[in-house]
Structure formats: structure tokens, C-alpha cells
């Protein structure tokens, strides 16, 4: 039986950062602009930018981004 939860794995090396989500993997090279954001996100234990990057690489459109931003705002408003 398949686990109902997809988990994000983040692995950092000298050459970049590898993201693993479900059966997919994504490599963020140290040369890419997003790498700086990824490093800062790891320092802050903020994984939302990784999910956004995965969505971008999967070709998810602005609708997904907007929905996710709304959910983040709702969560922050509840704090």
C-alpha cells in the first residue's frame, strides 16, 4: 500500500542542492540563481521556496503559485 504522504528531501553538497519529492528528483546547481535562495531557506528552515521551485520545474502555472501564496497568507494571518 502506498504511503499517502509525499515527503520533501533536501540534500546539500558542494556542487548544489538536490530535492527529492515523491519519485522525482531535482538538482539545483550552485551556479543557478535559485541556489542562493535555497541556501538561505535551509538556514531559516523554510521549505516553502523548495515546493515553489518544484512546481515551477513541473510547469505549474500562476494559478498554483497564487493558490499557494493565499494559503501561506491565511496561515500567517492565523498566527
pLDDT value of position 1: 41
Mean pLDDT of the chain: 84
Split at pLDDT 50, 70, 90, the class of 64 is confident
Closest CA relative to residue 21, chosen from 56, 45, 70: 56
**DSSP symbols for 54-65:** HHHHTT--HHHH
35 touches 17 (CB < 8 A): yes
Question: In this predicted model, what pLDDT tens digit does every residue of 1-38 receive, in sequence order?
Answer: 455 557 889 999 999 999 998 888 999 999 999 999 99
Whether residue 61 is predicted with pLDDT greater than 90 in this model: the reply is no
Structural domain boundaries in the chain = 8-77
- Measured in degrees and rounded to the nearest 5, phi and psi for residue 6 equal -90, 135
- The residues near 37 (Cβ < 8 Å, ≥ 6 apart) are 49
pLDDT value of position 30: 96
Amino acid at each position: 500500500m502506498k504511503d499517502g504522504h509525499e515527503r520533501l528531501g533536501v540534500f546539500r553538497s558542494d556542487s548544489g542542492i538536490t530535492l527529492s519529492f515523491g519519485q522525482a528528483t531535482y538538482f539545483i546547481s550552485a551556479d543557478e540563481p535559485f541556489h542562493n535562495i535555497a541556501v538561505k531557506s535551509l538556514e531559516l528552515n523554510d521549505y516553502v521556496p523548495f515546493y515553489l521551485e518544484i512546481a515551477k520545474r513541473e510547469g505549474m502555472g500562476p494559478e498554483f503559485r497564487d493558490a499557494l501564496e493565499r494559503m501561506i497568507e491565511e496561515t500567517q494571518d492565523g498566527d
